[in-house]
């Protein structure tokens, strides 16, 4: 069990997969910080604006009983090492689609006693599949 866990994300079009990810992270730590990416960060990295604005995504995530604190993720703390320096977490949680990402950051964090854990996606649901169902992407 970790003391402080951290899980950043867009959490746009919030769905059951997001909830499962947050719940699994909370089961592994005493205090869970959830980072919500700013609208500008999402637009820069994904090339599109989020459907739901930051303030509303923040309110949704704050209402979840598994979440102890919500923080804004912007260009100053999107890097995993920068986030660790600010939030001092013991474990960084992410979805398994990122398992091969952040190798350099992972080595740095592990050297400083910080773990990274990856959870499997919830079958049958993703923001991409919702966007496809809405006809937003093919």
Domains along the sequence of the chain with CATH: 2-133 (3.40.50.620)
CA-closest candidate to residue 70, choices 100, 31, 103: 31
Q: Is 105 helix (H, G, I), strand (E, B) or coil?
A: helix
Strands (DSSP E) contained in 15-84 are 29-37, 69-73
Q: Reduced to 3 states, what is the DSSP secondary structure of residue 39?
A: helix
CB atoms within 10 A of CB 72: 14
Judge if pTM exceeds 0.85: yes
The predicted pLDDT at position 125 comes to 63
Q: What angle do CA 130, 62, 4 make, to 5 degrees?
A: 105
Q: pLDDT value at position 13?
A: 87
Q: How many of the other CB atoms lie within 10 Å of CB of 118?
A: 14
Distance CA 2, CA 26 (A): 9
- Put residue 93 in one of left, alpha, beta given phi > 0 → left and psi -120 to 50 → alpha: beta
| 79 contacts 30 by C-beta, under 8 angstroms | no
Q: How far is CA 137 from CA 2, 47, 121, 125, 130, in A?
A: 39, 13, 20, 15, 9
pLDDT score of 120: 86
pLDDT of residue 122: 67
Instruction: State residue 97's pLDDT score.
Output: 81
What does the pLDDT profile of the chain (138 residues) look like in tens digits?
Answer: 999 999 999 999 898 889 999 999 999 999 999 999 999 999 999 898 999 999 999 999 999 999 999 999 999 999 999 999 999 999 999 988 888 888 999 999 999 999 999 998 766 666 666 556 566 655
User: Bridge partners of 45?
Assistant: none
């Amino acid at each position: 069990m970790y003391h402080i866990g951290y899980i950043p994300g867009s959490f746009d079009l919030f769905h059951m997969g997001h909830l499962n990810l947050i719940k699994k992270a909370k089961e592994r730590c005493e205090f869970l910080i959830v980072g919500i990416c700013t609208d500008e960060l999402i637009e820069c990295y994904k090339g599109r604006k989020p459907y739901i604005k930051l303030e509303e995504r923040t309110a949704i995530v704050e209402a979840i009983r598994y979440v102890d604190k919500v923080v804004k993720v912007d260009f100053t703390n999107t890097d995993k090492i920068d986030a660790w320096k600010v939030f001092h977490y013991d474990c960084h949680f992410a979805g398994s689609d990122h398992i091969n990402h952040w190798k350099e950051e992972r080595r740095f964090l592990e050297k400083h006693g910080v773990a990274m854990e990856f959870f499997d996606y919830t079958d049958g649901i993703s923001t991409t599949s919702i966007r496809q169902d809405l006809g937003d992407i093919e």
